[in-house]
Structure 1
Amino acid sequence: MKKLFEKTQLGNMTLKNRFVRSATWENRTTKDGHMTDELYKVYEELAKGEVGLIVTGYANVVKEEQPNPGMMGIYNDSFIDEYKKLTDLVHEYDSKILMQIAYGGTKTTYNLGERVIFAPSEVAERGTNTLGKPMTKDEIDYIVNAFVEAGRRSMEAGFDGVEIHGAHTYLINQFLSPYYNKREDEYGGSLENRMRFLMEIYSKMREKVGHDYPILVKLTASEFFEGGLTFEETRIICKKLEEIGVDGIEISGNIHGKAKSMVGQSFDGYEIKQEGYFLEYGNVISKDINIPVITVGGLKDINNIDNILNETNIDYFAISRPLLTEPNLIKRWKDGDEKQVKCVRCSKCRTSNGNYCTVFNK
């Protein structure tokens, strides 16, 4: 019988439990993405709260690309020393920490007109209606290299690994998607071509950081609309990522803010679940591949999570908003207090003064 509070291996990381803080935009950095005392405190509380693996809010890999204010940066070497302080702080509590790295692209309405926003093709993002500049091959190479350097900086700063964000209609996801990617070169058309951008990022990063440094990828299970990336395509992508050496995969979705209202609906033959929105998709993938799978979304009851652990092949359970309400949640559960989370999933935690629980932590 598998246990939630047991040591496991993810790549070359030894994790003390199976709980992950999924990447969460804290809106607590300086204007240019540097750390603040307030943000150090956020991560210290998570580590004190016994989170086994903390994934940072996503860090932009080029300076000119910041889709929301207060987001972390990793676009030059000036971040390395302050992130060393962060990783040392987290490691004091025997937690591990990954830097999530991304290029957001057109899933933004922030500072439009003041910057160039890249996209695979001239197709507006469905939620924001933002159009991007179709990328040239030189621009693709520029962003690939930016990811690679972000991976190198993360390693030098003491992060235990990186997570490449390939979900949520961000740039990598758009290259994978037949809806957003209308290219007619080697980066568009067939799934093999649409995967090329992600595969180049991973392969070149692996060359830079070496074989032993954990690299994870976050993917969308399905785009949940006609003409978008399908779950069957995602399964193929996951198998390819395992083949080339990725250490683990987090399965999410492209329905931010809407998942709760979509519970019970089926897409690609699988149902969005009340406890673990993308659980069925993650379970299928966990049987397809032999590297760890992380599920995220809607997890709030430790007994249900324990059942999922022992009834599926899913290895890890990522939580975001409940940890804004209770940073000590995992410790509380570990200590035997198994009450459900306080978080009511009202999504009022995004404020202009930082993202935090406005119901219980006023």
Structure 2
Amino acid sequence: MKTLWDKTNIGNMELKNRFFRGALWEDLADEKGHMTPELSYIYEELAKGGVGTIITGYSFVTRDEQPNPGMMGIYDDSFIDEYKKNTDKIHSLGANIIMQIVYGGFMTTFNVGERTIGGPSTMQNEVTGTWAKEITKDEIKYLVNAYAQAALRIKKSGFNGVEIHGGHGYLLSQFLSPYYNKRRDEYGGNIENRGRIIFEIYEAIREKVGKDFPILIKLNSADYVKEGGLTQEDSLYVAKKLADLGISAIEVTGGNRHLDVMEDILKNTKIQYFTLSRPLTAEPDLINKWCSGDKKKVKCVSCNQCYSTPGKRCIFSFS
């Protein structure tokens, strides 16, 4: 019988349990995206806390496209040595670490007057108020290559895998959504076309990193926002297509899960792993507590106030 504490493998990555720390923007990198001691400490704290695999906060893949301040970067080779020191430390503490990569598009308000914001179509984001300019097919090729080069740097930096951020309104999820994607070329229209940029990015990354290096993707199950947005059926099509292409794992974003619920899901569905972000922000050692048999209610109440604190820390840690 499967348990949450099983040792498993994804590609060449060995996992000591089925818990992942889901990606969370910590806002602690320096202005160019490089590591800081404060950011390193957070990952070390998580590794000591028992989680099997850490997914970093999202990292930008091109120098001129940073959707938020304090993000990690992976846009050139200057990052490799410093990340290698960090991944070596995390491994010595018994955890895996995966880097998440992203291109923001118009899901941003950061430095929008100083750079060109690209999107699948020319339109304004109703949440941020930011305008995007429709990117050309040549720019799509440039972006596909940027993702692939970033993934190769991630492998050289000692990370255990790479996760493509395809959710939360960022560029790749914009391409998937017919509400935002009004293109009339091979990157717009039906879901095969709207997903084409993601399929091309996956294949370009796989060519760079080899067949055994884990490639994950984070996807919305649906938009849940606008009529005419991404549907569950279309999201499932993208997931199945990526599975056929050989992707290592798919993280479906959304939902609040408790330990008993996760155990039930593991036993009764094909879901194999579980990501937690805010609960591990409140209690970095939560997995160790669960492993020791301590199943009392978690501290996190899903208030989202951590989003406004330095380092995205639980507000109760400041009291």
TM value normalised by structure 2: 0.97
* 1:226 positional shift: 1.1
1:241 to 2:198 alignment? no
Say yes or no: does 1:107 pair with 2:64.
Answer: no
Residue of structure 1 in register with 2:273 after alignment: 316
Shift of 1:311: 2.1
- Quote the Cα distance in structure 1 between the aligned partners of 2:166 and 2:270: 22
Q: Which has the higher contact order (CA 8 A, sep 6+)?
A: 2
Alignment of 1:1-362 (within 5 A): 1-224=1-224, 225-253=226-254, 277=255, 298-299=256-257, 301-351=258-308, 353-362=310-319
Aligned-pair CA distance for 1:352: 5.9
Once residues 308 and 32 of structure 2 are traced to their aligned partners in structure 1, the CA distance between those partners, rounded to angstroms, is: 18
Residue 160 of structure 1 and its aligned partner are, at CA, apart by 0.5
Distance change >3 Å, CA 323–CA 361, structure 1 → 2 = farther
In structure 1, distance between residues paired with 2:260 and 2:205 = 38
Q: Distance in 2 between matches of 1:6 and 1:12?
A: 16
Q: Which moved more, 1:35-44 or 1:127-136?
A: 127-136
Cα distance, 1:361 vs structure 2: 4.1
Residue type of the alignment partner of 2:150 = A
| In 2, Cα distance between equivalents of 1:11 and 1:251 | 19
Q: In 2, distance between residues paired with 1:80 and 1:343?
A: 34
Contact 1:31 1:70 in 2 (8 A): yes
- Partners of 2:263 and 2:240 lie apart in 1 by 26
The 3 A distance-change label for structure 1 pair 334 and 352 is: closer
Q: Are 1:56 and 1:99, in contact at CA under 8 Å, matched by a contact in 2?
A: yes
Question: Does the 8 Å contact 1:2/1:310 carry over to 2?
Answer: yes
Letter in 2 for 1:234: S
Structure 1 gap segments, 5+ residues each: 254-276, 278-297
Structure 1 distance, partners of 2:253, 2:164, is 13
Identity level (%): 54
Is the contact made by 1:325 and 1:361 (CA closer than 8 Å) also made in structure 2? no
Aligned partners of 2:310 and 2:24: how far apart in 1?
A: 15
Q: Secondary structure at the match of 1:42?
A: helix
Moved over 6 A (4+): none
Q: Which runs of 5+ in 2 are unaligned?
A: none
Report the AA paired with residue 302 of structure 2: R
Tell me how many residue pairs correspond in the alignment.
318
Partners in 1 of 2:85 and 2:65 — Cα distance?
Answer: 25
Shift of 1:129: 2.4
Normalised by the length of structure 1, the TM-score is 0.86
State the Cα distance separating 1:310 from its structure 2 match. Answer: 1.2
Which amino acid in 1 is paired with 2:269? T
1:360, CA displacement in angstroms? Answer: 3.1
- Give the C-alpha shift of residue 350 in structure 1: 2.0
3-state SS of paired residue (1:169): coil
